[in-house]
Amino acid sequence: MMTEKKKKRIEKSIMIAMPIVMALIIGYLGFYMFFARVNTDSSFRADVSEMASDVYDTMLINTYDEKVYNPKLMTMYTNSKIYECTHTCHRLPDLGALIDKSASQDNKLKVVYISLDPEIINKYYFTSSRAYTKALNNRLMNVINKYPNIEFRVLYPAYSIKYWNTMSLTDGISSGQREIMDDYEIITTVLTSAPNVKVYWAGDEEWIIGNELNYLDDVMDDGCCYVGNTNPKIKELEYTNDYIDDLLLGFSINGADMELNNANASIRMEKLRGVLLKDKEIIDDNYDNVDVIFFGDSIVGNFTDTSSIPGVVAGLTKCHVYNMATGGSSGSYVPGRSCNFPTEARAYAELDPSVMTSGFQTRLGLEVFLEHMNTSDNNIDKRDTYFVVHYGVNDYFGSFPVDDYIAGMEEGINHLRSANPEAKILVIVPNQTAYFDYGRTIVDPYKEGGAQYIEYIEALREYVSGRDDYDSSVYMLDNYNLIQVYDDYSSHYYTNDGVHLNGNGRYLTGVNIAAWLENMR
């Protein structure tokens, strides 16, 4: 029989234990509500309702606060009917639930794109790799594995170098940076354990993350690559602009170059570490009082976005950049054609856009230059001017005589010097080309004056270095040696098609131009 004393002791123990038990229950419920409960806000409910009535075969889910990828462009790339979720999934339960609810509908879902930021997801699971892995398996992979016939394409963000360097970078790689890189490896290992999951990431590509302007909107004005004194509409630095987003989407759909998996994750994280360490020395001065005006052919003129050569220079130096290059232009003067250096330089010297054919990049760039010159607060006549000139590829392709090429270069440079006697001029020697047996074949052997590619290169080098009266104002950037295209690997790494520079080639050229500008100042 229980004594009164024992009974009171038990009652006392229960009274002490009750608050503890209640606290544990409340804590568990709080954990469940915060970490595990599927979000039931209006956007989530709207998605669930829409999924039940809409017809689609592809779904796009974002974990970003801002929409990153363009569903219309995705539709064009894939020829699919896409449903873009309105709800932003910051938590794995939301992500898994949306996939589950969509896949369970009779909508013949084939592909799911997940714009996924490992850093956003991980903050709900602290910094424990074990907890992170467990949550990924329990909250996401268990859903993905239910649908082996659905292809999942996961798109990671490409953080800018500036964003990486906010993580207390001192000597080497900071602990904050390492934690995020570890997150990438953990989640990649988990995701790619399923055969129907592919992960894409461009965050170790220097040409993307090294150019700050790739992370801004509305920096281009009518295709002229003009950048004003202030950077408009600065977004969170991990979000790229529309053009770069479209490129990344294209990479994830049309090729394997950006694919990240368990086999290469460590290698690519090491590549990123190398980029971050190297780019401590990237140029980041303010060049508000500098105009850099580009003349040239398609190497410069066919790209007018932030990843263009002028866009890279603007991103590294913050100078005012004008792109007056036109695809198809030659250094040689060609009667009846306005796209040649002597005519384009004369149009600038005379400030007469009508000399150029309407719609040509030279005319667009000159028109915007004139607009800015006539703006009272721009003081364009009080700023330092630098010219960057790139011609020669089309002279070779057109089998124009080498002497005509050099004569055209001299005439064009004289027009620029007459307009701006104090300006400095950088002549870029064209990079190597994979066309026509890497330039060793004369394009049109029956055309008088045609030559091998190297003969145009050597003539330009001799012209720039041999003119004593140009020593103080004309300089040379030898891209023929800096960007060597001599086999399939180098052609793929630096060019889109064997001659036109890709992101890597344009970035390297822009970096070298920015370094020259710094030396000139």
Q: DSSP character for 354?
A: G
| pTM (predicted TM-score) | 0.84
Environment class of residue 314 by beta-carbon count within 10 Å: exposed (0-12), middle (13-18) or buried (19+)? buried
d(CA 340, CA 415): 13
How far, in Å, CA of 489 to CA of 464, rounded?
31
**In angstroms, rounded to a whole number, what is the distance separating the alpha carbons of residues 424 and 472?**
8
Residue type, 154: V
Enter the tokens of residue 469. Answer: 């009266």
What is the residue extent of each domain of the chain?
42-279, 285-520
Long-range contacts of 210-213 (CB under 8 A, 24+ apart): 210/161, 210/275, 210/279, 210/282, 210/507, 210/511, 211/306, 211/307, 211/311, 211/312, 211/315, 211/316, 211/507, 211/510, 212/160, 212/162, 212/237, 212/315, 212/316, 213/241, 213/306, 213/311, 213/314, 213/315
List of residues 6+ apart from 116 with CB closer than 8 A: 63, 95, 154, 155, 156, 187
- Residue 381: its pLDDT value, please? 62
* 225: region left, alpha or beta (phi > 0 left; psi from -120 to 50 alpha): left
Of 28, 32, 146, the closest CA to residue 93 belongs to 32
Q: What is the pLDDT of residue 294?
A: 97
User: Which residue, among 339, 337, 338, 334, has the nearest Cα to 302 in the 3D structure?
Assistant: 339
What's the average pLDDT block by block, 10 residues per block, for the chain (521 residues)?
Answer: 57 57 48 46 86 88 77 81 89 90 82 86 69 87 93 90 71 70 88 95 91 69 51 52 81 80 91 80 66 96 90 88 94 92 96 90 90 67 88 97 97 95 95 93 90 97 80 88 90 93 95 91 77
Q: How many angstroms from the chain centroid is the CA of residue 239?
A: 10
CA dist 211 and 449 (Å) reads 41
Query: Are the beta carbons of 284 and 480 closer than 8 angstroms?
Result: no
CA dihedral 135, 136, 141, 144 (to 10 degrees): 110
Rounded to an integer, what distance in angstroms lies between the CA atom of residue 483 and that of residue 493?
10
Length of the chain in terms of residues written: 521
Tokens of 306: 């932030």
What is the C-alpha to C-alpha distance for residues 516 and 510, in angstroms, rounded to an integer? 10
- Residue that is written with structure tokens 């490129």 in the block: 247
Alpha-carbon distance of 213 to 284, in angstroms, equals 12
In 76-127 the beta strands, taken as DSSP E runs, fall at 82-88, 111-115
Of 241, 242, 65, the closest CA to residue 160 belongs to 241
The CATH architecture one would assign to domain 42-279 is 3-Layer(aba) Sandwich (3.40)
Helix (H) or strand (E) holding 122: helix 118-122
Residue with tokens 């779904």: 59
Using a 10 angstrom Cβ sphere, with 0-12 exposed, 13-18 middle and 19 or more buried, the burial of residue 407 is: middle
Residue 447: φ, ψ to 5°: -95, 125
Choose among 303, 315, 295: nearest CA to 219: 315
Q: What CATH code is assigned to 285-520? A: 3.40.50.1110
CA–CA dist 388, 299 (Å, integer): 12
Interior/surface letters 227-260, b for 16+ CB within 10 angstroms, e for the rest: beeebeeeeebbbbbebbbbbbbebbbeeeebbb
Report whether 117 contacts 238 (CB < 8 A).
yes
Same fold, 42-279 and 285-520: yes
